[in-house]
């Protein structure tokens, strides 16, 4: 990404959860290209195709892991300027076949993890926000499923709807408290990722699509632009919301869905 005036993230320390995924890797690359010092977190080995300043093992559903990664970032860098809550899981299932265990797992990863992240990172983000143009920034990765609901994605849709309201409420609360922490949400539509490949395959498994290609075509035709997004395009939106160019934006939902719900 070529940073334009106002969008440079020079020397900003940014933490990205779920950094092994396709969107996570693209976000790390875009932030790094804009000058940020990127700390990727996740389970397993670090992605080999992304330059990171640090990689930390991190179960986002664990309060202990959140405390650990924040301690490490403070010790190594002395600050955290931005947090990208990208880690997430999807579930394609009929409501009547959805187990309570599946429901609880999706909400733990997609919603509870963000609350844990706020609790762990706000003290450091608050400290740093006082000295950074536009303050510190939190960007949560949501989905258009959380705005309109999607058949056979009920629990996923509900979790993203909850994330949207948590994000807006946090934005207003931090502003009311005088914290220089902006909270915004990226709302992608369908994105060409490995997760999306699994979703398409699952539609076939439950008998709602005759083939992966058929279901992909359905998703593509929902967008006036006629295609799915590329991870790199979503990453550009994240970089913008982290940058001083978005200094007057908080509590916003940046919809990136090719015009599907415009």
- Residues designated catalytic: 156
Enclosing H/E stretch for 16: strand 13-16
- Alpha-carbon gap, residue 44 to 42, rounded angstroms: 7
Q: Alpha-carbon distance 150 to 159, whole Å? A: 12
Which residues contact residue 199 at a Cβ distance below 8 angstroms, ignoring those fewer than 6 apart? 90, 92
Distance CA 243, CA 94 (A): 40
Strand runs labelled E in 71-180: 82-85, 136-141
71: Cβ contacts below 8 Å, ≥ 6 apart: none
């Amino acid at each position: 990404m070529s940073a334009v005036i106002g969008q440079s993230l020079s020397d900003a320390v940014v933490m990205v959860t779920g950094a092994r995924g396709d969107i996570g890797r693209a976000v790390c690359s875009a932030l790094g290209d804009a000058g940020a010092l990127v700390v990727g977190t996740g389970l397993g080995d670090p992605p080999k195709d992304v330059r990171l300043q640090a990689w930390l093992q991190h179960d986002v559903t664990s309060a202990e892991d959140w405390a650990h990664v924040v301690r490490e970032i403070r010790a190594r860098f002395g600050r955290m300027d931005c947090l990208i809550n990208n880690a997430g899981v999807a579930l394609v299932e009929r409501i009547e076949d959805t187990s309570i265990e599946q429901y609880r797992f999706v909400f733990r990863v997609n919603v509870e993890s963000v609350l844990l992240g706020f609790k762990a990172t706000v003290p450091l983000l608050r400290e740093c926000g006082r000295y950074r143009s536009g303050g510190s920034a939190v960007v949560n990765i949501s989905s258009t499923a959380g705005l309109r609901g999607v058949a056979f994605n009920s629990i996923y849709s509900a979790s993203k709807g909850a994330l949207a309201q948590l994000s807006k409420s946090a934005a207003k609360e931090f502003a009311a408290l005088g914290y220089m922490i902006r909270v915004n949400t990226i709302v992608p539509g369908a994105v060409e990722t490995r997760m999306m490949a699994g979703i398409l395959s699952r539609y076939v498994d439950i008998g709602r699509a005759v083939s992966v290609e058929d279901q992909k075509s359905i998703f593509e035709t929902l967008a006036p632009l006629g295609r799915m997004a590329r991870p790199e395009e979503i990453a550009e939106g994240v970089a913008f919301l982290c940058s001083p160019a978005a200094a007057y934006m908080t509590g916003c939902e940046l919809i990136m869905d090719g015009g599907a719900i415009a």
